[in-house]
A and B are shown apart, each in its own frame.
Chain A
Amino acid sequence: MPPETRTPAAPGRPQPAQDVIHNIGYRTYDGPRLGRAYARRSLYSQSLRGAYGLGRSAKSKVLPMILFGVMCLPAAIVVAVAVSTKLNKLPVDYTRYALWLQLVIGLYVAAQAPQSVSRDLRFKTVPLYFSRPIERVDYVVAKFAAMASALFVLTATPLLILYVGALLAKMDFSEQTEGFAQGLVSVTLLSLLFAGIGLVVAALTPRRGFGVAAVIAVLTIPYGAVSTIQNIALHSDNTTAIEWLGLFSPITLIDGVQTAFLSATTSFPGGHGPGAATGAVYLLVALALIAGSYGLLMRRYRKAGL
């Protein structure tokens, strides 16, 4: 109480002691503390839901849902055609489907990876995450896992539609199951690879628009360059060059791995996909890229800001 407004103490009564901290009844929290694993799980589920706009505004649901629809629609059409014309084999391979719609997957990563990490950087909420009982590794693992899971949902759902459709059309069960399993392995690898690349690029900039452009550039420009050179190599009959050039873009990397190990037909020009030996290099490079992007993310978040 400021001195001017203090009423003079009544004579005879003792002056009340000044500078007292009053106990106004705040209580300490003595409920259960949910701890680090819970915080990590929450961050994972929030990021995964956020990647499809769930729990966010209606406007931010539009784009991921449209892309999800675009991803599933061709599968539904393929199944409808296969059922109505009584084919005994699906007209599109399980492993080929994701390559076929790589542009949609690329757009999804480009739109959602910056959404997942750039906004935290821009609104400076990263320090708030780290004031919770989570460590750097938890943040990185949760974001990485959420992005990879979102991509897996995006790429595996159409395969599931194809598989269910194929079984309903009474196609050969073991053949379809094998193809489906191979497709799942391939899209798992693709999801991890794309999520890693997308997050690393997105975590470098707090501006979402710029992150989107950077991610799509990293995913499509190498593909454009690689397929241009591959076509030129095809004209000059340099088939070994075609085989090795695929190492230099993410989607051709996946193509190479599944051609070598998952009995897929390659979409390299002239069908000159890698054999098992070259394929091992492809697989190594893909795994190294995934591990490398995890390492880069860990390094990136050593500092919370930019």
Chain B
Amino acid sequence: MYNPTVARLTYRGLLGRRRALILFVLPALLLVLSAAVRMLTGADDNTATSVLGGFALATMVPLIGVIAGTGAIGPEIDDGSVVYLLAKPVKRPTIILTKLVVAIGVTVAFSAVPTLIAGFLLNGNSQQIAVAYALAATVASVAYSAIFLLLGTVTRHAVVAGLVYALVWESLFGSLIPGARTLSVQQWSLALAEKTAGAGAVTADVSLPLGLTLLTAATVAATWFAARRLRALTLAGEE
């Protein structure tokens, strides 16, 4: 269920040329920000949660998820070169799973790892905050990659659709309508962070079992549906 050649091509498509640049800029910004905050205010758990929760988990992880998830398949469908891939004797679910693995790898490497380092920079992992947010970023990366990979197969405007979900639904509606928070990857992953971190350090809107169930369900359903979409793919010309 894993094809190294497809993986290599996807990896090159994601990180080749200058594309890796934006993926490096975001984590670098987070680290600079954390270092600056640490120097300005000293180690403080509240500041750490506000930087890690407000910037890392709420903005950086979804954005890198969008770039990696849709970038793993979107451009190929967009320029039509996916037919050469589909014409090879490789099962479509294998293609999707391989691309998912690569997307997850890239998202974790560029979001969860910097989150962990930023956490240590901010308060030296007091109350396990750094580890908690890194864990949350990891599970969120998995779910985001699967969802945005699905979007990449469904629509040509996958990046915009993904951004609308990540920014408008999670940030805007999440802060206005409490109910919207139950249906957000961010909150599901925060449930895990809440359990890992010291008591009261992190708050989430969903309980841990519900969060984990929804995370798994969303990931599996998105992957299955993406494979299904790829089997029935029709190629359209540029509008």
Contact = CB atoms under 8 A, between A and B. Distances in A.
Interface of A: 56-57, 59-60, 63, 103, 107, 110-111, 119, 122-123, 204-205, 207-210, 212-214, 216-217, 220-221, 224-225, 228-229, 231-233, 235-236, 238
B159 A209 contact: yes
Given A209-B71, A213-B63, A228 B160 contact: no
B81 to A, nearest CB: 12
Given A209-B159, A221-B63, A229 B239 contact: no
A71 to B, nearest CB: 13
Contacts, number: 100
Q: How large is the interface on B (under 10, 10 to 19, 20 to 34, 35 or more residues)?
A: 35 or more
Contacts of A213: 22, 63, 66-67, 70-71, 159, 163
Contact of B41 (A217, A225, A236): A236
Interface stretch (B32-40, B88-96, B179-187): B32-40
Interface string B154-173: 00111110011001100110
Chain B contact residues, majority secondary structure: helix
Contact of A209 (B25, B54, B74): B74
A59 B29 contact: no
Q: Enumerate the 10 nearest inter-chain pairs by beta-carbon distance, A residue then B residue, closest first.
A: A57-B239, A212-B159, A224-B59, A209-B159, A213-B67, A209-B74, A60-B239, A111-B160, A228-B55, A213-B159
B78 A103 contact: no
11 contacts: A204-B18, A207-B75, A208-B159, A213-B66, A213-B67, A213-B70, A214-B22, A220-B63, A221-B29, A228-B33, A228-B50
Contacts of B128: none
Contacts of A119: 238
A106 to B, nearest CB: 8
B26 A111 contact: no
A232 B37 contact: yes
Contacts of B50: 228, 231-232
Given A107-B160, A107-B163, A119-B238, A210 B71 contact: yes
Most-contacted residue by chain B among A59, A210, A213, A220 (CB, 10 A): A213
A202 to B, nearest CB: 12
Contacts of B167: 103, 107, 216, 220
